[in-house]
Amino acid sequence: MNSSDRPAPEIAAVLERLRSGTSGLTREEARRRLAEYGRNELRKTEKATHLRIFASQFLDFMLILLIIAAIVSFLIGERLDGFVIMGFVVFNAVLGFIQEYRAERALEALKSMISPQARVVRDGGEQMVDAAQLVPGDLLLLAAGDRVQADGVVITGELRMDESVLTGESQPVDRGTAQTVYAGTTVSHGRGTCVVTETGMRTEFGKIAAMVQTEERETPLQRRMKQLAKYLGIGALIICIVIFITGTMGGIAADEMFLAAVSLAVAAVPEGLPAVVTITLAIGVQRMVRKNVIVRKLQAVEALGCATVICTDKTGTLTENKMTVRKISADGALIEVTGEGYTPSGEFMSRDAEIPDLPQLSLRIGALCNDSSLVQSDNGDWAILGDPTEGALVVAAAKAGIDKQELENRYPRIAEVPFDSDRKYMTTIHEIRDTDGIWSDSAYLVSVKGALDSILQLCDYIYKDGRVAEMTGEDLDSINHLHEEMTSGALRVLALAYRLSDDAGMIEDRKQRYEHNLVFAGMAGMIDPPRPGVREAISTCRE
């Protein structure tokens, strides 16, 4: 191995700790580790059979008290009372069993989020394996659109990850060498190789699955019911003793007083209370189900009524998890974009009488300086492959009749500088093959998108009134005013700029910086829109 091919010291340390290398594991070693660490899949911490779930329903203190009362009723000859009490007990147990049995299926939804196949390096070559066969030390190959199947450390490449499934944050996160990627997250941009560090239930995703299965603490209702059952049990015992002693001291036979005391104690137990509580909670559960809310425990319904603070995920829960362009700045005007989700249909509206032609220019730049794509599934649904923020620009362009694939055929990419958290912008260079387009007089196009403050530092010109002009202080004030108006509406803003060139040497010299003397084209403001009914739901909670 050449010195230039050797991994960085921190990567070498990780590989050494995992007893792996740049050629991956051998098949024999992978089989041995699979036997040691187990399959890379989510599994239940304890396999609960149907019988076990049903039997666990009888562990409630109040039900135990009722069972004792039923047994005593049978012993003293009050069979009808015994059957009635046991009927209430079984009724409660059946309802609880049904609810918990449904909840056990929740884990299957989590399992479906893990890809069934994985690309790995084993025996020095690339191969596809069952994702459940991944083991610590495997080299996992990742590309845009892949879902990560295990926790790992990036050893080569630069990745931009969509970690909303774990963090709830829709903004992609950059992961470079020596940084961690997590099972269940998605690669929105880039390519890379990572070494697997954790699999199955030991991954962060697996820990979430384990928490879903973990028994919750007692609810306020459970605590009060247990306390009531204890008071009733102690009270009934005291009554039995007092009546028995009083009767025998009065000359009544001991066996008669014993039966009388026990009968009174049984009568003091409210056998109908658990049934009433269970039925009431079951009604609450059904109401929640009609609102698409699954409740694992009946008692949780009452606990919800005691809640004063709601902690909720944002992305995909309160929002649609579909970044959407809502406003575009063009020639000093602010243009509103309609439409929902990733469906490429919508209108462009302006407060001015006429909409300038400039959005076409901005949207072309946004679509070209972009690694995402818009696809339609067999059932007609539209989806984004790649970064959701970049996807929003592709959808906005499609609404204006700009097809990204057709645009890339006319302006093929020949070089790029990926987005960097320090630079805060991305650059792509395209050869201009279009003979009658807006850029047909030049040979190359440099398109740039990123944070406004970073882009403005690169711009000496601005496109306005249908031509390129030098950037003035008045132009900067107008741009900043529009930017402030967009951000005040909770929009995430990307600035768009470009440059034309006929200098082939600029393209050939990859070390030369070509991100200067740019022409400012405009801005795009986007948001992850709230789900329908979220505003009303929040208002209802506040009331």
Strands 373-376 and 348-350: unpaired
Let me know whether 424 and 457 are in one domain.
yes
Q: With cut-offs at 50, 70 and 90, classify the pLDDT of residue 355.
A: low
H-only helix segments in 414-526: 452-456, 473-487, 504-508
**Helix (H, G, I), strand (E, B), or coil: what is residue 429?**
strand
Q: With cut-offs at 50, 70 and 90, classify the pLDDT of residue 383.
A: confident
Per-residue model confidence (pLDDT) at position 238: 84
Last residue of a domain, one of 245, 272, 305: 305
Last residue of a domain, one of 160, 185, 211: 211
Is 333 part of any domain?
yes
Per-residue model confidence (pLDDT) at position 358: 53
Is 540 part of any domain?
no
Per-residue model confidence (pLDDT) at position 88: 76
C-alpha 429/C-alpha 432 separation (Å) is 10
**Helix (H, G, I), strand (E, B), or coil: what is residue 301?**
helix
- Select from 148, 159, 121, 105 the least CA-distant residue to 20: 121
Per-residue model confidence (pLDDT) at position 474: 93
Is 458 part of any domain?
yes
Let me know whether 359 and 431 are in one domain.
yes
Write the pLDDT tens digit of every residue in 168-210.
Answer: 777 788 898 889 999 989 888 778 899 999 999 999 988 887 7
Exposure on the CB side of residue 224, measured as CA atoms within 13 A: 9
Q: Which residues pair with 448 in a beta bridge?
A: 427, 497
What's the chain's length in residues? Answer: 543
CB 497 within 8 A of CB 458: yes
C-alpha 441/C-alpha 424 separation (Å) is 30
Per-residue model confidence (pLDDT) at position 79: 81
Let me know whether 183 and 60 are in one domain.
no
DSSP label at 435?
S
Most confident of 82-96, 241-255, 490-504: 490-504
Provide the domain count of the chain: 3
Of the listed 313, 453, 502, 509, which one is catalytic? 313
Q: With cut-offs at 50, 70 and 90, classify the pLDDT of residue 311.
A: confident
**What is the helix, strand, coil percentage profile of the chain, to 5?**
45, 25, 35
Let me know whether 364 and 497 are in one domain.
yes
Tokens of 62: 């109040």
Residue 145 has pLDDT above 80, yes or no: no
Q: Summarize the confidence of residues 138-149 as an average pLDDT.
A: 88
Is 38 part of any domain?
yes
Q: Summarize the confidence of residues 374-394 as an average pLDDT.
A: 86
- Select from 341, 490, 492, 325 the least CA-distant residue to 400: 325
Per-residue model confidence (pLDDT) at position 295: 67
Is 317 part of any domain?
no
Tokens of 389: 């923020």
Q: Summarize the confidence of residues 377-395 as an average pLDDT.
A: 87
Let me know whether 255 and 116 are in one domain.
no
Q: Is 313 a catalytic residue?
A: yes
Q: Which of 53-67, 100-114, 392-406, 500-514 has the lowest mean pLDDT?
A: 100-114
Per-residue model confidence (pLDDT) at position 25: 93
Let me know whether 34 and 75 are in one domain.
no
Q: How many helices (H) and strands (E) does the chain have?
A: 19, 19
The domain that holds 205 is classified in CATH as 2.70.150.10
Name the one residue in this structure whose structure tokens are 């630079």: 423
Q: With cut-offs at 50, 70 and 90, classify the pLDDT of residue 48.
A: low
Q: Which of 12-26, 223-237, 467-481 has the lowest mean pLDDT?
A: 223-237
Cα end-to-end span (Å), the chain? 68
Tokens of 489: 């509406």
Write the pLDDT tens digit of every residue in 56-66.
Answer: 777 776 677 77
Q: Summarize the confidence of residues 246-259 as an average pLDDT.
A: 78
As a whole-number percent, the residues of the chain with pLDDT over 90 amount to 32
Q: With cut-offs at 50, 70 and 90, classify the pLDDT of residue 54.
A: confident
Is 541 part of any domain?
no
Is 80 part of any domain?
yes
Residue 345 has pLDDT above 50, yes or no: yes
Tokens of 86: 């046991």
Per-residue model confidence (pLDDT) at position 105: 59
The amino acid that residue 109 corresponds to is: A
Per-residue model confidence (pLDDT) at position 7: 55
Let me know whether 483 and 504 are in one domain.
yes
Average pLDDT value for the chain: 81
Q: Summarize the confidence of residues 416-423 as an average pLDDT.
A: 78
Write the pLDDT tens digit of every residue in 2-23.
Answer: 444 455 668 888 899 999 988 8
Is 31 part of any domain?
yes
The domain that holds 501 is classified in CATH as 3.40.1110.10
Last residue of a domain, one of 244, 277, 305: 305
Residue 138 domain boundaries? 3-43+110-211
Let me know whether 281 and 389 are in one domain.
no
Write the pLDDT tens digit of every residue in 452-473.
Answer: 999 999 999 999 888 899 999 9
Residue 68 has pLDDT above 90, yes or no: no
Per-residue model confidence (pLDDT) at position 114: 47
As a whole-number percent, the residues of the chain with pLDDT over 70 amount to 81
Q: Summarize the confidence of residues 97-117 as an average pLDDT.
A: 59
Residue 216 has pLDDT above 60, yes or no: no
Let me know whether 363 and 457 are in one domain.
yes
Rounded to the nearest 10 degrees, what angle do helices 254-268 and 61-75 cross at? 140
Residue 486 main-chain phi, psi, to 5 deg: -75, -45
CB 303 within 8 A of CB 281: no
Let me know whether 290 and 204 are in one domain.
no
CA torsion, points 431, 436, 439, 445, in degrees to nearest 10? -10
Strands 151-162 and 186-198: antiparallel
Let me know whether 137 and 56 are in one domain.
no
Q: Summarize the confidence of residues 208-232 as an average pLDDT.
A: 69
CB 244 within 8 A of CB 258: yes
Measured in whole angstroms, the distance separating CA 364 from the mean position of its chain's CA atoms is: 31
C-alpha 427/C-alpha 514 separation (Å) is 9
CA torsion, points 22, 28, 32, 38, in degrees to nearest 10? 80
Let me know whether 132 and 69 are in one domain.
no
Which is higher by pLDDT, 336 or 417?
336
Whether the pTM exceeds 0.85: the reply is no
